[in-house]
A and B are shown apart, each in its own frame.
Chain A
Amino acid sequence: MYILFAIISLTGMGLALGFLLGAAARYLKVEENPLIDEIEAMMPGSQCGQCGYPGCRPAAEALVAGEAPATLCPPGGRALAEQLANKLSIDLDLSEVEDQAPMVARVDESTCIGCARCYKVCPTDALVGAPKQIHAVISDACTACGKCVDVCPTECLRLHPIKVTLRNWRWPSPETVTAKAA
């Protein structure tokens, strides 16, 4: 008898709470997840499309929906992947991200033919030049998205690691030093 009573009351409670939750989901629904805005603000914003999504906002939406891994953004690199994983509280498999040095595009002046294709695709206007003139990269504006490399017919545009100088040299993390020593 008691058992029956317990089953009935618990089932009743479950139904009632479930109904409440369902109602809340329906009436208190947030149209657009504010998290998407936050994630988008973290992305590089060059809309380069290397992640496979048409831009940074769709990529952010996919991230929030859990359809894309935190490591989706190549220009953002390891640092962004860590921040995203932190923000979304998801596990991060960094083994896929190559810990590559930051890159910048550079024009090889001996092979540039001035075809003017590259500066049309550059999402940040980091390429300057005129048709039939040798083009140049403004390295400060370059996000190393690689779009120009794809369209360059002579392979004169390449991504090169940013040169380490005394001004941008940083102390390596003690852990990476130990790992290297081991």
Chain B
Amino acid sequence: MSLSLLSAPFTRADSQVQGIMVAVMLALLPATAFGIFIFGWPAFFLWAVTLLSALAFEALCLELAGKPVKAVLLDGSALLSGWLVAMTLPPWAPWWIGVVGAGLGVVVGKQVFGGLGQNPFNPAMLARVALLVAFPLEMTTWALPSLPFSSSAPGLFDSLAITFAGAPAADGMTGPTLIGNWKTEASQGRGLSESLVSGHYNVMASILGWKAGSLGETSSLLVALGGLWLLKKNIITWHIPVSLLATVALLASVFALTDGERYAGPLFHLTSGAVMLAAFFIATDYVTSPSSPAGQLIFGAGCGLFIFIIRTWGAYPEGAGFSVLLMNALTPVIDHYVRPRIYGRDLKGRPLDLPGGRR
């Protein structure tokens, strides 16, 4: 007799784990496709290598742990972790960056804690941060966007060489990311208006994603659209994205108003780097975020705060990964202290007062 037959309810909602994972991947598809479109074959190779190695690592861990390999692989969580890792990699990074990233995410980030649902830290962000610290050169060499089959786009064989043979990209094909540029310039004492010009800052291009950056992060617009679709499908709730983006925007506005030369404005912050991806896809990771709505608001705000602090005053140009990991570490604390109010009780769990002050 199956378990679910013994106790009510005897009917269930249609939504299943696998369906959720597939929906998130569908939502990632437009931004990924756009990344591959502007960064060419190397991006595609890296993406494919990362996904395949995520699956391989997951299968290996399941096999070692003596768990059913096929059933768990089919839930799609490893594929999604691999995909998210790939989204955050520099598009022309060598193949082994993808393999090591997928391995870090799936093995160190997830399986060592007991598999799906047990990990305290977001696997994709753990992988990204570990890669960034361990391989700073490979992780900060950014390809410039180019139209497919244009003269600046690498051909199929050049691409194979870039991804698999570690061929150095030609000089004119790489450049700094926007925030990276802003950071470097700022450290040299140049103001924002100057650095943005030298970085060829264009608001529209930045929102659309025509700029150097991680494989799937450049197009804030497409990432946000995917996220909104997830919201509409009730896969994620609005609490984390809204509180994260609002916190970043609010802090950016306040500081930009005080000193517009030193601090970048909200539009710049929201449309550059990994903020959109973090808000809709990374911070909203079920496993590593709080479970109560109020806790999620705190979590999102905390992520936003750390992103702004690290970007503005930290040593790294991008703070999304560190911020999410920091807040992941706080999730158990938030979950412990922020709980929904139980019916008939106050927030501290005491029974409500009876009319007339009796308890």
Contacts and interface: CB of A to CB of B under 8 A. Distances in A.
Classify A-B as touching or not with yes or no (CB < 8 A).
Answer: yes
Interface of A: 171, 174, 177-178, 181
A181 B7 contact: no
Nearest to A178: B3
A177 B7 CA distance: 11
Nearest to B6: A177
B5 to A, nearest CB: 9
B2 interface: yes
Nearest to A175: B3
B64 interface: no
Contacts of A171: 7
B1 interface: yes
Nearest to B2: A181
A174 B7 CA distance: 9
A178 B2 CA distance: 7
Nearest to B7: A171
Contacts of A177: 1, 3, 6
Interface in B1-58: 1-3, 6-7
6 contacts: A174-B3, A174-B7, A177-B6, A181-B1, A181-B2, A181-B3
Contacts of A178: 3
A171 B8 CA distance: 12
Nearest to A180: B1
Contacts of B1: 177, 181
Contacts of A181: 1-3
A177 B1 CA distance: 8
A181 B1 CA distance: 6
Contacts of B7: 171, 174
A109 B2 CA distance: 44
A181 B7 CA distance: 14
A171 B3 CA distance: 12
Contacts of B2: 181
B101 to A, nearest CB: 36
A174 to B, nearest CB: 6
A178 B1 CA distance: 8
A171 B1 CA distance: 15
Given A174-B3, A181-B1, 8 more contacts: A171-B7, A174-B7, A177-B1, A177-B3, A177-B6, A178-B3, A181-B2, A181-B3
A170 to B, nearest CB: 13
Contacts of B6: 177
Interface in B223-259: none
Interface string B291-318: 0000000000000000000000000000
Q: What are the 9 tightest A-B residue pairs by CB atom distance, in nearest-first order?
A: A178-B3, A181-B1, A177-B3, A177-B6, A174-B3, A181-B2, A181-B3, A171-B7, A177-B1
A160 B7 CA distance: 29
Nearest to A174: B3
A111 B7 CA distance: 44
A178 to B, nearest CB: 5
A171 B6 CA distance: 10
A174 B2 CA distance: 10
A49 to B, nearest CB: 40
A37 B1 CA distance: 45
Nearest to B1: A181
A174 B6 CA distance: 9
A39 B6 CA distance: 37
B67 to A, nearest CB: 15
